[in-house]
């Protein structure tokens, strides 16, 4: 966690312990789930192919990976949708209301530059609001969760 | 009296299973418990030399299983503490000389007379590990803060979790170097715990006294001198007895003052 903040704040290079931890997490995920990186890549391709039948996907930024939380494995998909050009000018940066700065420069909003965080994607009405811009996030437990009622 | 059978295992070799078994056994015995340790590493026995009892072995585990002697005849009493015994492994046989069922019936005969039966498991996940795990009530997984050892510990924990008996499992993190953790060059205790998601039984610092004690065949808890690793193993023994013992403060309080004194070369 500390290393995450260090990197976020640009403080220092990853230490060898950070590298060890990251490598371990990766290798354990494939050890535990018994899926090779190639198979995972194939899975990613197929998932994207299915989603593309319904939505425009920003291929370059798709991340589908196995992740470990406690001793459970999760398949986590982070699939940004391609910008809908017909949607017109993007509204200004979405930020929590208490952090929103005064809109002092109206000229800034009209610039068609890629905003850091845009409004929620149009098609993904059910996407969690916390997710990265224009992306759908899904976390599916790899193993059956104990005694969870079926989704409605 | 009904003994708790605790198997000490690791997957990877060389992480300190045997040292941990010997030191925890001696610590428990020095705290007044009746303890027997069983060396389940048939063909590569070492618990005897670490404990300093190698010259007193007459019979071994395989002799008992194959009926050449009575169980009591094979048990070597450690005369330096009350109620500590070693059941040595055979050195000239291989792991297939005994079966998991043999281990269960053997420990079954010992349960009534002891409070702790510690089983030193061989490395690996094959026959010897199965033998060591079969009679266990609890498992201690020993690991080191390095990628290969943690990976193997994860494999072992996975195998124990898959066992229908749902054995309580705890982690003993051995050979920690606080200075390297501080520099960011060693996985921290929290890193390892986060990855393995297992209850922590204890943390043992890297300590030269361990090698010295195994040179001499005198486990640290037998020594009157206090050592970092010896204290850590004593704490582990206390925790096994149900006491709440906080972890040894491995990292010095690293405030601005101590950092300043280090910068200016103070020998604090």
- Give the separation between CA B209 and CA B226, rounded to whole angstroms: 10
Looking at chain B, how many residues does it have? Answer: 268
How many A/B residue pairs have CB atoms within 8 Å? 43
Please give the class, per CATH, of domain B4-263.
alpha beta
Task: Sort B264 into a burial class: Cβ within 10 Å, 0-12 / 13-18 / 19+.
Answer: exposed
Domain count, chain A: 2
Assigned token pair, A28:
């354990």
Interface residue A27 vs chain B (CB under 8 A): yes
Do residues A52 and A73 both lie within one domain? yes
ipTM associated with this complex = 0.81
- In chain B, where the domains are located: 4-263
Task: State the greatest distance between any 2 C-alpha atoms of chain A, in Å, as a whole number.
Answer: 55
- Statement to judge: residues A22 and A49 lie in one domain: no
Print the domain residue range for A53. 35-141
Angle, CA B193 vertex, CA B190 and CA B194 arms, to 5°: 85
pLDDT in tens, chain B (268 residues): 799 999 999 999 999 999 999 999 999 999 999 999 999 999 999 999 999 999 999 999 999 999 999 999 999 999 999 999 999 999 988 878 999 999 999 999 999 999 999 999 999 999 999 999 999 999 999 999 999 999 999 999 999 999 999 999 999 999 999 999 999 999 999 999 999 999 999 999 999 999 999 999 999 988 888 999 999 999 999 999 999 999 876 555 555 544 444 444 433 3
The alpha carbon of residue A107 is apart from the nearest alpha carbon of chain B, in Å, by: 46
Q: CB contact, 8 Å: A108 with chain B?
A: no
Task: Identify whether the C-beta of residue B10 lies closer than 8 Å to the C-beta of residue B143.
Answer: yes
Residues A136 and A109 in one domain: yes
Return d(Cα A35, Cα A26) in angstroms, integer.
12
Backbone angles phi, psi at B143, to 5 degrees: -145, 170
Subunit contact B187:A20, Cβ cutoff 8 A: yes
Asked if B225 reaches chain A (Cβ–Cβ under 8 Å), the answer is: no
Chain A within 8 Å of B151 (Cβ-Cβ)?
Answer: yes
Structure letter (DSSP) for residue B54: G
Q: Are residues A21 and A50 in the same domain?
A: no
User: Under an 8 A CB cutoff, do A71 and B197 touch?
Assistant: yes
Q: Hey, are the CB atoms on B184 and A18 less than 8 Å from each other?
A: yes
Q: Is B66 on the interface with A (CB under 8 A)?
A: no
Whether residue A27 is found in the same domain as residue A70: no
Q: Three-class SS string for B63-122?
A: HHHCCCCCHHHHCEECCCCCCEEEECCCCCCCHHHCCHHHHHHHHHHHHCCCCEEEEECC
């Amino acid at each position: 966690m500390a290393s995450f903040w260090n990197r976020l704040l640009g403080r220092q290079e990853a230490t060898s312990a950070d590298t060890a931890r990251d490598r371990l997490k990766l290798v354990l995920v494939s050890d535990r789930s018994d899926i090779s990186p190639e198979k995972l890549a194939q899975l990613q391709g197929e998932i994207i192919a299915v989603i593309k039948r319904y939505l425009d996907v920003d291929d370059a930024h798709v991340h589908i990976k196995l992740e470990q939380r406690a001793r459970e494995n999760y398949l986590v998909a982070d699939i940004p949708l391609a910008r809908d050009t017909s949607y017109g000018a993007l509204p200004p940066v979405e930020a929590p209301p208490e952090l929103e700065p005064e809109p002092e420069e109206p000229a800034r909003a009209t610039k068609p530059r890629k905003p850091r965080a845009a409004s929620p994607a149009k098609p993904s009405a059910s996407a969690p609001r916390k997710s990265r811009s224009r992306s759908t996030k899904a976390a599916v437990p790899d193993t059956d969760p104990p005694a969870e009622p079926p989704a409605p | 009296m009904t003994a708790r059978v605790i198997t000490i295992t690791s997957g990877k070799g060389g992480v300190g299973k045997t040292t941990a078994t010997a030191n925890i056994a001696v610590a428990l015995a020095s705290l007044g418990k009746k303890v027997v340790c069983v060396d389940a590493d048939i063909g590569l026995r070492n618990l005897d030399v670490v404990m300093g009892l190698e010259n007193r072995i007459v019979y071994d585990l395989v002799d008992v299983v194959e009926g050449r002697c009575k169980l009591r005849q094979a048990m070597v009493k450690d005369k330096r503490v009350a109620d500590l015994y070693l059941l040595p492994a055979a050195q000239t046989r291989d792991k297939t000389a005994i079966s998991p069922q043999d281990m269960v019936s053997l420990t079954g005969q010992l349960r009534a007379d002891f409070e702790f039966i510690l089983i030193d498991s061989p490395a690996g996940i094959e026959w010897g590990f199965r033998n060591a795990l079969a009679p266990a009530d609890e498992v201690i997984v020993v690991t080191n803060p390095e990628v290969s050892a943690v990976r193997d510990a994860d494999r072992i924990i996975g195998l124990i979790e898959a066992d229908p008996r749902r054995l309580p499992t705890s982690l003993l993190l051995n050979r920690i170097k606080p200075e390297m953790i501080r520099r960011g060059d060693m996985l921290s205790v929290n890193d390892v715990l986060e990855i393995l998601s297992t209850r922590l039984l204890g943390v043992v610092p890297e300590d030269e006294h361990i090698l010295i004690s195994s040179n001499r065949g005198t486990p640290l808890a037998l020594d009157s001198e206090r050592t970092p690793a010896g204290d850590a193993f004593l704490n582990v023994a206390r925790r096994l007895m149900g006491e709440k013992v906080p972890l040894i403060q491995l990292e010095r309080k690293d405030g601005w003052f101590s950092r300043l004194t280090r910068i200016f070369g103070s020998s604090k």
